Amino acid sequence: FIANIPVSGSGENILTGGMGSNYPFFYAHVGNRIYYSMNSGNSWVDRGERPQWYFNLQNSFNSSNINRDLIFWGGMEVFKSTNNGNSWTLVNNWWDYYGNEATKLHADIPEVRFFLDPEYNEVALISTDGGLYYSDDNLETVQNISMNGLGVSQYYSTYTKRDFPYNVYAGSQDQGFQRSIAPGEGIFDFVQSTSGDYGHLSSGDRGETIWCNYPGFTLYYGNPVMGDGSLSLDFPGSGHLWLAPL
Q: Last residue of a domain, which of 80, 115, 144?
A: 144
Mean pLDDT of 204-220: 95
Residues 167 and 126 in one domain: no
Residues 178 and 210 in one domain: yes
Residue-number span of the structural domain to which 84 is assigned: 13-144
Global model pTM greater than 0.75: yes
* 89 bridge partner residues: 80
Residues 137 and 176 in one domain: no
Task: Look at residue 239 and tell me if it is in a domain.
Answer: no
pLDDT in tens, 73-116: 999 999 999 999 899 999 999 999 988 989 999 999 999 999 99
Give the span between the Cα atoms of 93 and 78, in whole angstroms. Answer: 9
Q: Last residue of a domain, which of 122, 144, 166?
A: 144
Q: pLDDT at position 31, please? A: 77
Residues 180 and 214 in one domain: yes
Residues 96 and 45 in one domain: yes
Residues 135 and 171 in one domain: no
Task: Look at residue 2 and tell me if it is in a domain.
Answer: no
Task: Look at residue 243 and tell me if it is in a domain.
Answer: no
225: Cβ contacts below 8 Å, ≥ 6 apart: 167, 179, 181
Residues 109 and 223 in one domain: no
Task: Look at residue 242 and tell me if it is in a domain.
Answer: no
**What CATH number is associated with residue 127?**
2.130.10.10
When pLDDT is cut at 50, 70 and 90, the band that residue 5 belongs to is low
Contact criterion met (CB below 8 Å) for 18 and 31: no
CA dihedral 197, 53, 95, 225 (to 10 degrees): -10
Task: Look at residue 75 and tell me if it is in a domain.
Answer: yes
Residues 78 and 112 in one domain: yes
Task: Look at residue 24 and tell me if it is in a domain.
Answer: yes
Residues 137 and 23 in one domain: yes
Task: Look at residue 1 and tell me if it is in a domain.
Answer: no
pLDDT in tens, 110-135: 999 999 988 889 999 999 988 899 99
Cα torsion angle, 196, 201, 203, 206, sign? positive
Number of domains in the chain: 2
Parallel, antiparallel, or unpaired: how do β-strands 13-19 and 155-160 relate? unpaired
Residues 56 and 20 in one domain: yes
Residues 206 and 114 in one domain: no
Percent of the chain past pLDDT 90, that is, above it, reads 53
Task: Look at residue 3 and tell me if it is in a domain.
Answer: no
Residues 136 and 159 in one domain: no
Q: What is the mean pLDDT of the chain?
A: 88
Give the span between the Cα atoms of 95 and 108, in whole angstroms. Answer: 11
Q: Last residue of a domain, which of 102, 120, 144?
A: 144
